[in-house]
Amino acid sequence: MKLFSAEQIRQWDAFTIKNEPVSSLELMERAANACTRWIVKNTLADSYCIFCGKGNNGGDGLAIARLLYNANKTVTVFILESATGGSDDFNSNFNILHHLSAIPVYSIRSEKELPQLPPDCIIIDALFGTGLNRRLTGLAATLVEHINSFRMPVIAIDMPSGLFCDQSSLGNPIIKASHTLTFQVPKLAFLVAENADFFGQVHIMDINLHPGFSEKTPAKFHITDSSLIRSIYQPRKTFAHKGNFGHALIIAGSTGKTGAAVLSTRACLKTGAGLVSAHIPRQSLPIIQMAAPEAMAFPDAEDHYITRMDYEPDDFSSIGMGPGIGKELKTRFLLRELLEKIKKPLVLDADALNIIAATKGYLKLIPSKTIITPHPKEFSRLFGDTANDFEKIELASSKSMEMNIIIALKGHNTFIAHPNGAGYFNHTGNAGMAKGGSGDVLTGMITSLLAQGYTPEQSAVYGVYLHGLAGDLAARDRGMESMIASDIIEHIGNAFKQL
């Protein structure tokens, strides 16, 4: 699914008005109807306090007020006055409402007019939407803080007021909504961790914007959805043999972190590679053979960590390196040797990335189309700090293009930057996965897909989606608190079945 900017959404509204055709006021009525249906169905209250600005977001608020009143609800409207007049559609809805004397309408012109509200009402925030063009200050900011001081649930229309769609709002006054009813498509602002306190649960209101616009308009960012994954998926052929699905090598583990090697290797096996081998420290040999009997093992010459390749790396279809390897000097040298020798893309995670970040000259050795899977800290070690999440996304995108690598920046809504400039946000996964070992599982899964012949771009997008889906199924079965990384592996099979 394409992720459009506020400006593109404005163009999409205009395109719909021209090409459907439909009047702007009718489109607002459609939006207000969708919101009102949701509100009536999902809230049990009888009383609603609606705060409106004087743009089209406020126009939505006025139309919702009228529709809720028609549904026999008690409605009170507060209008934040501004020096400029209302938008055309705001004014039209204001005139309609004016004739319904049963709906009280109050103006807020100064702090003295900030209202007290009945404790059983639901607050509807229609102050500002996608038209926000600067941070809120003055009376608007004070009103936002005033609304946030109430304990009643707040339903934001389109955007929580004060939140920018496509840029950081860090430190700004913003409505803290329990629910956001947003029009047609999700917004970038709802995908980043720094905004988590503001939008609550996001619900998409389908207002039938014209499909012609989204089909022909390119977008830089996308949300990975099941239809994209189904288009990537290659079913296994009936007469296939193990040679058709590649030979994956996992280079992982050191004493005390053999579990990382076990998790990556098992996840790699469970994701469909034809053959899986694990290069582990010598002492880990019995452990890996017990925990993953289907995998072959290359025990290192060294007991406790990895130091030497006794194989040709290009003989493998894919190699994933990093989970639990530590940062011993000899392991660093081995990583350098691998980076210099291999002619194929790699999967690099965890300590492989920490070694690269800490050792001068390693970063530029990363082979083209390699997939790196840093969590935010590993990302900062590699590429430096950023002031906010939006800059982090831009930095991931530009580094991916500059270095011709795929960067999966892990977290809730993992962001995957492709070297052609496109970016994919993943929406599967849950906070039950915020535990040691989950990332090791992801490395094994992506390495497995790469071995099977999926392109590096496909392997990253597909692997991250499947990993999150397996995590969601694990959470459903075991609960977010109790699920562990091994449970994600146990649910990879069911995740495949759900595609």
Ligand X SMILES: Nc1ncnc2c1ncn2[C@@H]1O[C@H](COP(=O)(O)OP(=O)(O)O)[C@@H](O)[C@H]1O
Q: Which residues are annotated as a binding site for K(+)?
A: 57, 125, 161
Using CA atoms, how far apart are residues 15 and 209, in angstroms rounded to an integer? 8
Give Cα 418 to chain centroid, integer Å: 15
Q: Which is nearer to ligand NAX, 60 or 487 (CB)?
A: 60
- Please state the separation of Cα 431 from the chain's center in Å: 13
Binding site for ligand X (CB under 6 A): 350, 375, 410-412, 414, 429-431, 433-434, 436-440, 442, 467
**Binds 411, which of ligand X, K ion, ligand NAX, none (CB < 5 to 8 A, cut-off by type)?**
ligand X
- Letters for 102-141 (x = contact with K ion by CB under 5 A, - = none) are -----------------------x----------------
Residue 114 and residue 108: Cα distance in Å, rounded? Answer: 6
According to CB under 5 A, which residues from 149 to 168 bind K ion? Answer: 156-157, 161
Do the beta carbons of residue 186 and residue 196 sit within 8 Å? Answer: no
The one among 34, 105, 108, 129 contacting ligand NAX by CB under 6 A = 129
3-state secondary structure of 145: helix
Given the complex with ligand NAX, which of 130 and 354 has the nearer CB atom?
130
| Cβ proximity to ligand NAX, 140 vs 450, nearer residue | 140
Cβ proximity to ligand NAX: between 32 and 103 the closer is 32
Q: Provide the residue count of the chain.
A: 499
Nearest distance from residue 121's CB to ligand NAX, in Å?
A: 21
| Three-class DSSP category at 420 | coil
The residue with tokens 């009718």 is 26
Q: Is 326 in the site for ligand NAX (CB under 6 A)?
A: no
User: Is 13 a residue that touches ligand NAX (CB under 6 A)?
Assistant: yes
For ligand NAX, the binding residues in 65-104 under the rule CB under 6 A are 82, 84, 87
Q: Which residue, among 269, 419, 243, 280, has the nearest Cα to 345 in the 3D structure? A: 419
- Token pair for 123: 């607050």
Q: Say how many C-beta atoms besides its own lie within 10 A of residue 446's C-beta.
A: 33
- Can you state the angle between helices 438-451 and 350-358, rounded to 10 degrees? 90
Residue 139 binds which of ligand NAX, ligand X, K ion, none (CB < 5-8 A, kind-dependent): none
180 is a contact residue toward ligand NAX (CB under 6 A): no
- Shortest CB 389 distance to ligand NAX, Å: 21
How many beta carbons lie within 10 A of that of residue 368, not counting itself? Answer: 12
User: Which positions touch K ion (CB under 5 A)?
Assistant: 125, 156-157, 161
